[in-house]
Amino acid sequence: MQERLKQKATQLLENGTVDRILGWKAGEFFYDLTPAVFTTKEQIEKDFVFNVFAGANLSKYLIAESRKGGKVAAFIKPCDSYSFQQLLKEHRIWRDNVYVVGVQCDGMCDAAKLGDGVLSVKEEGENLIVDTLYGEKTVLKADAIADRCASCKSKKIVIFDELIGEQGEETENDRFGEIARLEAMSPEERFEFWRGELSRCIRCNACRNVCPACSCEKCVFDNANSGVRNKAAADSFEENMFHIIRAFHVTGRCTDCGECSRVCPQNIPLHLLNRKMIKDINELYGPYQAGADMDTKPPLTNFTVDDCEPSIVHERGGQ
Amino acid sequence: MKKIAISQLNELFSAISSQKMLYIPADDGAGAAKFTPWAEGISLTDKLNTVRSAKDLFFPQVENLVNFKVEGTKIDIVENRDAAKPFVVFGVRACDCASFDILDRVFLSDPVDTFYQTRRENGVVITLACSRPAETCFCGVFGIDAADPAGDVTCWMDGENLYWRANTEKGEALTESLNLTDCDDAAVTAQQEESRKILAKLPLNGLDLSAFKDEKLLDVFNSPKWAELSESCLGCGTCTFVCPTCQCYDVQDFDNGREVRRFRCWDSCMYSDFTMMAHGTNRPTQKERFRQRFMHKLVYFPNNNEGIFGCVGCGRCLKKCPIHMNIVKVAKALKEEKV
Amino acid sequence: MQRVGVFVCWCGSNIAATVDVEKVAEVLAKEPGVVFSTNYQYMCSQAGQEMIQESIAKYNLTGVVICSCSPRMHENTFRKTCEKAGLNPYMVEIANIREQCSWIHKDKETATEKAVILGRAAIAKVHLNAPLTSGTSPVKKRALVIGGGIAGIQTALDIADAGFDVDIVEKEPTIGGKMTQIDKTFPTLDCAACILTPKMVDAAQNEKIHIYSYSEVSSVKGFVGNFKVTIKKKARYVDETKCTGCGLCTEKCPQKKVPNAFNLGLDNRRAIYIPFAQAVPKVATIDADYCTMLKSGKCGVCSKVCTAGAIDYTQKDAFIEQEYGAIVVATGFNPIKLDQYDEFAYSQSPDVVTSLEFERLMNAAGPTGGTLLRPSDGQHPHTIVFVQCVGSRCDDSKGKPYCSKICCMYTAKHAMLCREKYPDTDVYVFYIDVRTPGKNFDEFYRRAVEEYGVHYVKGMVGKVVPENGKLKVQASDLIGNQQLHIDADMVVLAAAIEPDKSARPLATMLTASMDTNDFFTEAHPKLRPVESPTAGIFLSGACQGPKDIPETVAQASAAAAKVIGLLNKDHLVCNPCTAQPDELMCNGCSSCEKVCPYGAITYVDKEFRGPNRTTLLRRVAQVNPAVCQGCGACTVACPSGAMDLKGFSNKQIMAEVDAICR
Amino acid sequence: MIDTIKRISGVNPRKCMKCGKCTASCPAFERMQFHPHQFVDMVENGRIHELMNSEGIDFCLSCFACVERCPRNVEPAKVIEAVRLAVVRQQGGAHLTPDEIPALLDDELPQQAITAAFRKYRK
Amino acid sequence: MPVNEEFKPTIVAFCCNWCSYAGADLSGTNRLQYPANVKIIRIPCSCRLNPMFVLRAFQRGADGVILCGCHPGDCHYTTGNYYARRRMTLLFSMLDFLGIERERTRVEWVSAAEGAKFAATMNDFSATIHKLGPNRRLEDLRCRKD
């Protein structure tokens, strides 16, 4: 796959389709890829990488990249394509300046699942051969797959100019299972659960800054004029506040790409909040997938006269 | 050199915490470790290091400074410091311990930061030597010996015993209050030898920081590489907040309608509103902010501090950066530039 | 920080009996920024108002808080008071300590404590108030009426009568609308044409009225007082200025087999036609779908016979741009298509007709010259069955959920006329309910039953089967608890009515809201029934809901009155409490635009200064203060908080929250 | 009982506007004591037992003309079917006792049919 | 948290200007009593209620927050309360998901004619909050009054 992507990138540069390529660059180890912009064949030859750790969702970079003049090609995986289209829908990306190469994806791996002291990794079929400071071992790719990919919602690339690999379909998944488990708890248990999770937050803003839906020119939490600015949670309230407001601001816009949980240095399952909102929207207002198309009205800027009342939250209990 | 059986660790912790608040690195229930107040049932983690560094205990993320009470036009200033309590922190790794020297240079030089100073005076640091470093470790680059860390007390652990060596008066005092057995250095020396073999194999050992000399300041500052390096930076504060040496903070006020509480909290040079001034910000894009962080650690800080870099090679930013951009990649890229 | 003056009103004993007004004034005096605090018996009295004005001058107040009755009562009074003293009227806040405090609490201590908190909240808010100025926008003194039926004509006549120019845009070649097709009108049975055609002529001759017939609205821009409308004049291939309406072409045209739309296809007309004798304008139109000249370039008969030289086969659609201060929608209705209702055999037998087709069959100017004859064989029908509620009052999947309102009455009219003209016919009317609320309506219906012997049967027709030249009708008689089998000669279906199909795209252009049935929504169902929620858009006739003629005319005149009221103003004063985006923070995401009920938000691409001497092109929201009504929906939809509402800003509301909870 | 009928049929009789189109469409009108619109009305008013004991409920052909024609989607045929089911399910209506079974057996009859019939009619 | 006899809940009621604020005025005009700890904030329309205001109230020590607006279909601005309805449904659901007592938040549609309903609603809501006790799960300790 990596070679096909490299070839495509080189070809797009050489035939003048684009001026820049947005992809992933090799790091010190096999797993620490960095999103990067390539402008020459040489750079691509030397540094362009695509492997099971190319999890970073590149769509958000296109907000800035598409405004830089010239045209940029971006490699977009299925879940990234939803984010991309959602950003288009919100007029955040200048479509004319982007050439989207859809890349099929079999799920990305989580480096933390490889164990300690990883020096290098080789992909061999279904296996990863991991060389560590403490010896070599073989890990099944399936055992190292990232949690978000294990409950992948769709392998469909919803928008592209060109496709590498097969087009996929929406997949059967149990992504709402963990939400249902939380809903089944008593409010006290849920409160304890979230207190435990959110109290670890260090307000590094990684979740916000990586989130394609959080693309505000200026976040209310950075804006002294908003009246709610804060840089650190001085009280447990502020830990809640940040995450509630963030989840609410992306409600109906979150595509469930899972980047927030991936980047959290404290492993807080932040995606659960967003996913709960998605589940609610699906159940209360009919199925809706942000970014799936350009036309459907987002649920929070839409209504029907027969919508349920807010009291449904009381009536249905924790559901 | 003293020792105590691993099976007796709980008793040791219990004895220490009967005198002072004791923090040990324990599992946080989410697959990582954090410094946790010891209590019965809390046990030592088997993780190499905590996500948040030991810095937090001396320079917490949020700290009350002072309160103001306003009535009409009268403003009363009310002290609101957190009470100073003696504490012990156990299990600090060599890198974090080295970071205290860097923080001391900032906070204890004139004007002294009394909040930090109080905590430093009140805290006893018990370090724990590393025997199983990670691929991201590069403390050796800064002359830190992970097999023989500093601190008030240094500890080593093997399968059977915890070995204990007091290094300072504070350490001695604590040692005397505890029931430890005398022993020789043999076991420790053997373990150190083993550890150093592994430490020697670490992939980042060869990191060359010689390019960041005083006289190169402008060359480094003006390097065209910064644009490329910072291109994918998200501008989050992860690297800053997990870093044991970052020490920037912001002072903010919280008005609850009855009084104004002034507190300080960590800030990150990666944030767009870092050092915001009346005219706006003087680092308008992520490139400048990104450059600031690494210029500070690799050039400005050593320039003002006898060549000591503002980094201890703990590897946290390597592990935690959402896009895997870090000081190692930066240093390597800028060095390439020079050659 | 403002210099705030606090004025606590006793309202006689209304407040003072349960609230310790002196204490309130005393406690509030210690609030930050308060430089003067007092209490008085009646703040709204002349003396009270003077006291406020004097204090503003004396203490150089920049903000005023009045603790008194509800702002719904005297907010305007106090705003004017302060304005006269040179203070911006929007620097006044009212703490409602009467309706929401003294009147609901009995314990003086509790009420006093609450009054203090409410006062504090008002003070906290006033600190963040900013002086607001109402903007004005000029009014273009011309109105557009879309639709030239009776509603449109009446509205246009009334507006013209008040001295304003009015344009009527009608998509058909003639104005007049549905009423031109109707024979007689209930409950008076006077002839529709006799009362309508003089109005059509009035409209045509009125020099203030300009009729764009055979035209459509193709785009609408702007806002109340300043609409810019593009009208598409469809090519009719006849020069209107030359055509005399002599009708010679419509007799000579060799293409004779064109279904006559005016008679609902019950007979044929030529490819060049004038819909009916009294058409306004009386100008011929070529039906491009049938004209052999336009289709194949061979013929040209009309051109040869036209002495005026009015035929122009090369005519193209023309676009006219015009500015208006107000727009009236009068797009009217149509009967629904009946294909869905197989059971009534509408598409199987020509003798099953809709009520509007029946009108044509009864009309002296209709295809049968006014003699009621079966379309199938031209025979006189002896048994006629009327079915009510066809497609009305249905579940959504089966038809229209609403009552079409006019069917009961016109069916009674039809039944009565049948029996009157042809006493030998048996007339059955199958009904679910007979609804006759209206002046002389029930009397009319009773006459049909009692004097004219129409058989009203409570029940529904189950099926109609054409058999041997008859229509076998199977129906239930719910009161007699029997199933009826009638051999009918004709079946007349009272089809539900629906808004004209052109209404939906028009609503989008106008940013006027519609209900799920495509009827235009009124600004308030009771109190503003002829206005759309979108400022400057008015509703006339059945586009707003089913209506009979008198109701339509009443609403048409009401809409005209509203338009006249608007056009009479030289400038519109805008509500200054409008939304305002901070362009620097706007993402350009359009969330606000989607929730704005008034279409007040638009987006522009604008250049901004970027970091390091760069310029950035960004898409940012713009609010038109003349259109914004200040609801605030956009402020919450905005994820970045770029949109705020003047007078009720985020910070102001949060300051109130803080003050209340403190 | 009303709730049972409503639950089995899934019909909300309150939606009926009493137009009688169901009855007008009914081909079995003559043979039924109560007609489709009356079924709906009687269910609404709790006259279930009268319906269950009425003549001709089995004459409903389940042709669904009434369902098809009803302007308000009330679905009278489903009510009739529910009433029929209610009759079948009646306790003690004793349609089949174990003693009768041997007499009913014949070689052609599948065992399952007996079991099924027994389950259904032994209540 | 045991029910404290002395506990006087703080309740913030956001009322739309056109219906509910007028309804509240009417309950005053009719001298219908409801607890003094209910404090009303006037907003132009229920759709003006930013979830941030709800959180702010809880932060600053409110024990219950209620939004009152025109009945659906009667909004002065035609559609505002429909948006408010969705927003509040999702916000309340999220708070519930975080384990915040769901009884602390409520939306009630009160028309300008429903003075009695306004008073009854406030009495009922206040009683509910009283039973729940002080808000401890979503408060800011820095704002607590001791």
Could you report how far apart the first and last alpha carbons of chain C are, in Å?
19
Q: Same domain, yes or no, for B308 and B179? A: no
Mutate to test the interface with A, among B67, B204, B233, B234 (most CBs of A within 10 A): B234
Which tokens belong to B103?
């923080």
| Coil, helix or strand at residue B111 | coil
Q: Which helix (H) or strand (E) segment is C112 a member of?
A: helix C108-128
Range of weakest confidence among B132-136, C370-374, D6-10, D100-104: D100-104
Q: Same domain, yes or no, for D38 and D98? A: no
Question: Model confidence over C574-625: pLDDT tens digits?
Answer: 889 999 999 999 999 999 999 998 889 999 999 998 887 888 899 999 999 8
Please tell me which of the candidates A217, A300, A301 has its beta carbon nearest to residue C585: A217
User: Which positions in chain A touch E96 (Cβ < 8 Å)?
Assistant: 187, 313, 318
Question: Model confidence over A175-234: pLDDT tens digits?
Answer: 999 999 999 999 999 999 999 999 999 999 999 999 999 999 999 999 888 888 889 998
Provide the residue ranges of all domains of chain E, joining segments of one domain with +: 11-137
- Whether A92 sits inside 8 A of C589 (CB atoms) is yes
Q: Same domain, yes or no, for D85 and D110? A: no
- D-contacting chains (≥3 CB pairs under 8 Å): C
Q: Same domain, yes or no, for D84 and D106? A: no
pLDDT value at C425 more than 60: yes
Provide the residue ranges of all domains of chain C, joining segments of one domain with +: 4-128, 141-227+320-332+500-568, 235-316, 336-497, 579-646
Q: Same domain, yes or no, for D84 and D114? A: no
Q: What pLDDT was estimated at residue E1?
A: 40
Whether the link from the prior residue into E2 is cis, omega within 30° of 0, is: no
Average pLDDT, integer, range E27-45: 94
C-alpha E86/C-alpha A299 separation (Å) is: 8
C-alpha A231/C-alpha A225 separation (Å) is: 14
- Which fold, C235-316? Alpha-Beta Plaits (3.30.70)
Domain count, chain D: 2
Question: Model confidence over B48-74: pLDDT tens digits?
Answer: 999 999 999 999 999 999 999 977 667
Q: What pLDDT was estimated at residue D94?
A: 57
What does the mean pLDDT of chain C come to?
A: 94
Instruction: Decide if B69 is inside a domain.
Output: no
Which residue is closest to B258 within chain C, CA to CA?
C662
Q: What pLDDT was estimated at residue C143?
A: 97
Instruction: Decide if B207 is inside a domain.
Output: no
Q: With 0-12 CB in 10 A as exposed, 13-18 as middle and 19+ as buried, what is D8?
A: middle
pLDDT value at B338 more than 60: no
Mutate to test the interface with B, among A28, A47, A63, A225 (most CBs of B within 10 A): A28
Q: Same domain, yes or no, for B232 and B189? A: no
pLDDT value at E4 more than 90: no
C-alpha A12/C-alpha A24 separation (Å) is: 16
Question: Model confidence over A45-65: pLDDT tens digits?
Answer: 999 999 999 999 999 999 999
Domain count, chain B: 2
pLDDT band at D123 (very low <50, low <70, confident <90, very high): low
What does the mean pLDDT of chain D come to?
A: 84
Average pLDDT, integer, range C205-214: 96
Tell me the CB-side half-sphere exposure of residue D20, using CA atoms within 13 A: 25
C-alpha C515/C-alpha C578 separation (Å) is: 26
Average pLDDT, integer, range E93-100: 95
- Which fold, E11-137? Rossmann fold (3.40.50)
Mutate to test the interface with B, among C584, C657, C662 (most CBs of B within 10 A): C662
Q: Which of E146, E142, E130, E141 is nearest to E63 (CA)?
A: E130
User: Which positions in chain C touch A220 (Cβ < 8 Å)?
Assistant: 640-641
Average pLDDT, integer, range B26-40: 94
- Which fold, C141-227+320-332+500-568? FAD/NAD(P)-binding domain (3.50.50)
Instruction: Decide if B180 is inside a domain.
Output: yes
Q: Same domain, yes or no, for D65 and D113? A: no
What does the mean pLDDT of chain B come to?
A: 92
Question: Model confidence over A152-184: pLDDT tens digits?
Answer: 999 999 999 999 988 999 998 899 999 999 999
Q: Same domain, yes or no, for B185 and B285? A: no
Q: Which helix (H) or strand (E) segment is C220 a member of?
A: strand C215-223
Instruction: Decide if B320 is inside a domain.
Output: yes
Q: Which of A90, A85, A115 is nearest to A100 (CA)?
A: A85
Q: With 0-12 CB in 10 A as exposed, 13-18 as middle and 19+ as buried, what is A19?
A: middle
Would you tell me how many other CB atoms lie within 10 Å of the CB of residue D116?
11
Average pLDDT, integer, range C543-566: 96
| Coil, helix or strand at residue B66 | strand
Whether the link from the prior residue into B111 is cis, omega within 30° of 0, is: yes
CA-to-CA dists, residue E40 to C70, C101, C635, E113, angstroms: 12, 10, 21, 17
- Do residues D35 and D29 lie in contact, with contact meaning Cβ atoms separated by under 8 Å? yes
Q: How many CB pairs under 8 A join C and D?
A: 67
Q: What pLDDT was estimated at residue B200?
A: 93
Q: Same domain, yes or no, for B139 and B266? A: no
What does the mean pLDDT of chain E come to?
A: 92
Q: What pLDDT was estimated at residue B339?
A: 41
Q: Same domain, yes or no, for B249 and B176? A: no
If interface means Cβ-Cβ distance under 8 Å, which residues of chain B face chain E? 254, 256-258, 261
pLDDT value at C314 more than 70: yes
- Whether C641 sits inside 8 A of A226 (CB atoms) is yes
Q: Same domain, yes or no, for B166 and B35? A: yes
pLDDT value at B279 more than 90: no
- Domain containing D114 equals 94-123
Question: Model confidence over C367-389: pLDDT tens digits?
Answer: 999 999 999 999 999 999 999 99
- Domain containing B311 equals 214-338
User: Which positions in chain C touch E43 (Cβ < 8 Å)?
Assistant: 632, 648, 653
Average pLDDT, integer, range A288-297: 94
Q: Same domain, yes or no, for B190 and B235? A: no
Q: What pLDDT was estimated at residue C171?
A: 96
Q: Same domain, yes or no, for B122 and B226? A: no
Question: Model confidence over C49-90: pLDDT tens digits?
Answer: 999 999 999 999 999 999 999 998 899 999 999 999 999 999
C-alpha C552/C-alpha C219 separation (Å) is: 26
Which residue is closest to C649 within chain A, CA to CA?
A226
**Dihedral over Cα of A92, A96, A101, A102: its sign:** positive
Single residue among B146, B178, B200 that ends a domain in this structure: B200
Which tokens belong to C72?
């719904």
- Whether E143 sits inside 8 A of B261 (CB atoms) is no
Average pLDDT, integer, range C157-172: 97
Q: Which class does domain C579-646 fall in?
A: alpha beta
For every residue of chain E, which 3-state class applies, written as one string?
CCCCCCCCCCEEEEEECCCHHHHHHHHHHCCCCCCCCEEEEEECCHHHCCHHHHHHHHHCCCCEEEEEECCCCCCCCCCHHHHHHHHHHHHHHHHHHCCCCHHHEEEEECCCCCHHHHHHHHHHHHHHHHHHCCCCCCCCHHHCCC
Q: Same domain, yes or no, for D78 and D108? A: no
- Do residues B173 and B86 lie in contact, with contact meaning Cβ atoms separated by under 8 Å? no
pLDDT value at D122 more than 80: no
ipTM: 0.85
Q: Same domain, yes or no, for B42 and B148? A: yes
- Which fold, C4-128? Rossmann fold (3.40.50)
Min distance A94 CA to chain C CA atoms (Å): 10
- Do residues A232 and B265 lie in contact, with contact meaning Cβ atoms separated by under 8 Å? yes
Please tell me which of the candidates E40, E47, E143 has its beta carbon nearest to residue C631: E47
Top pLDDT among A38 and B276 is at A38
pLDDT value at D107 more than 80: no
Single residue among B200, B230, B258 that ends a domain in this structure: B200
pLDDT value at D109 more than 80: no
Average pLDDT, integer, range A100-122: 91
Q: What is the DSSP-derived secondary structure letter of residue B22? A: E
Listed in sequence order, the DSSP H helices in chain A are 2-14, 41-47, 61-65, 78-89, 141-144, 147-150, 177-183, 187-198, 206-210, 236-249, 259-263, 271-285, 312-315
Mutate to test the interface with E, among B62, B69, B256, B260 (most CBs of E within 10 A): B256
C-alpha C364/C-alpha E9 separation (Å) is: 78
What is this structure's pTM? 0.78
C-alpha E50/C-alpha E78 separation (Å) is: 19
| Coil, helix or strand at residue A243 | helix
Question: Model confidence over C358-367: pLDDT tens digits?
Answer: 999 999 999 9
Question: Model confidence over D50-103: pLDDT tens digits?
Answer: 998 888 888 888 899 999 999 999 999 999 999 888 887 776 665 667 777 777
- B-contacting chains (≥3 CB pairs under 8 Å): A, C, E
**Dihedral over Cα of C118, C121, C127, C130: its sign:** negative
Average pLDDT, integer, range A246-262: 95
